[in-house]
Amino acid sequence: MEPSKLRSFFMNGAVMCVQLTPFKENEDVDYEGLRENTSFLIEESRGQPLVLTPVGSTGEKYAVTDDEWRRIVKTVVDVANGKVPVVPGASHSGTRVALERAKYAQDVGADGVMIVLPYYHVPEEEGLYLHYKRIADAIDIGVVPYNNPDVSKIYMMPHILKRLVENTDNIVAVKENTPFIPTLYEHIKAVEDKVPILQGRGEWWFAATVFLGVRGYISGYANFMPKLCFELLKAGLNGDYAKVKEVMRKLDPYEDFIKRICRKYGPSTTVLPYPYVSSYMIFAVMKATMDMLGLRGGSMRLPLLNLREEDKRELEKIVFDVLRLEKIK
C-alpha cells in the first residue's frame, strides 16, 4: 500500500493490533502458531479497519534474535497477503540497524514500519529528528513513529514531530503513548491536518481521549477479541459515548484482574514514576487468554514471567462467564 493510501487508511480510523509472539515451552518461536493467529485476525476483521503489527513491544521484539525477527515479519506479511496492512515493529536504538530492519520489511512486502524512540543512550533533539528523517528518506513505505517514553526514557515533543512531518512524505501515523493528556492534545493540534495520531495506550485511553481527535488506537486485546475492539473504535469515532461506556464497562473485570496480577507478581523494578507503566504482566494475561480460547498465546520469554496456573483458573471465569468469549473452533 502506498504511503498516501496508508495514511488515509489510518485517518479514517483503525485498530492497530500489536501481535503477541507465541513461544513454545522451551521459548522457541511458534511460527505455526503465529500463522494461525494471523489467519484468525484476518478472517475476523473482514471489512474492518485492521492493521497488523508483529514484533512491537507487545510482541517482545527485544527478546527475539535478528533471524527470528526477520522470519516473524515475513510470516505475517505472507499470511496477510495484501488482505490487511502490515506495519511491523522495526525499531533499534541505533539508526543504522533500525534502517536495515526497515529496508528488510519493505523488501518482503510490508506496508510500513513502526519505529519506537531510540532507547539506551539519550539523543539530542537534532539526533532524534535525524533518526526518523534518515529512516523515512531511505524507504518508500510508510513510517509510524512510536512515541513511547515508558520504554525509551526519552520523548518526542510536538515541535519535533511537526518538523518531521513537514520535511518527509511518508510519515503515515503516530503511535502516541504519553500518559499526559494535555501533551497528547498538543500533538494532535500540531499535525492533525496532515498525519493522524493514534492512541497508543489501548482501549481505556482511547475511550478517554477520542473526543480530542485521535483517529484510532493500538490494541493487544484485538489479538483475541477483535470484534469488541472494532465496536469500541466505531462508537468512539461516531461520538456514541453511551456505547463507548458500555464497552468499557464490559472490559472492567478483565482490566481489574490485570491490575491485581501486576500487584501480585510485584514488586516492579521500574524507577519511572506514576503514571508510567510499572508492570508488563498484561502480556502474560493476554497470552493465557489466547490459549484458553484455542489460539496460540504460548509462553513469555524471560525476563518477563508467565501466569501461574492458580491465576489462570480465575482468569478463565472472567473470559467465559463475564466477557462471554467463545472458543475458536
Residue of 175, 217, 254, 280 with catalytic role: 175
217 as an active site residue: the answer is no
The string over 315-325, giving b where at least 16 C-beta atoms fall within 10 Å of a residue's C-beta and e elsewhere, is beebbeeebeb
Rounded CA separation 198/188 (Å): 9
CA quadruple 33, 38, 43, 49: dihedral, nearest 10: 160
241 as an active site residue: the answer is no
User: Is the distance from CB of 168 to CB of 182 less than 8 angstroms?
Assistant: no
Beta bridge pairs of residue 53: 18
> Which are the contacts of 168, defined by CB distance < 8 A and separation ≥ 6?
132, 133, 136, 137, 143
User: Is the distance from CB of 42 to CB of 82 less than 8 angstroms?
Assistant: no
Residue of 104, 129, 132, 146 with catalytic role: 146
Beta bridge pairs of residue 216: 14
Rounded CA separation 291/269 (Å): 28
Rounded CA separation 163/159 (Å): 6
User: Is the distance from CB of 88 to CB of 113 less than 8 angstroms?
Assistant: yes
Between the alpha carbon of residue 125 and those of residues 21, 75, 121, 172, the distances in Å are 33, 36, 13, 21
**Cell (9 digits) for 224:** 483475541
What is the set of active-site residues?
Answer: 146, 175
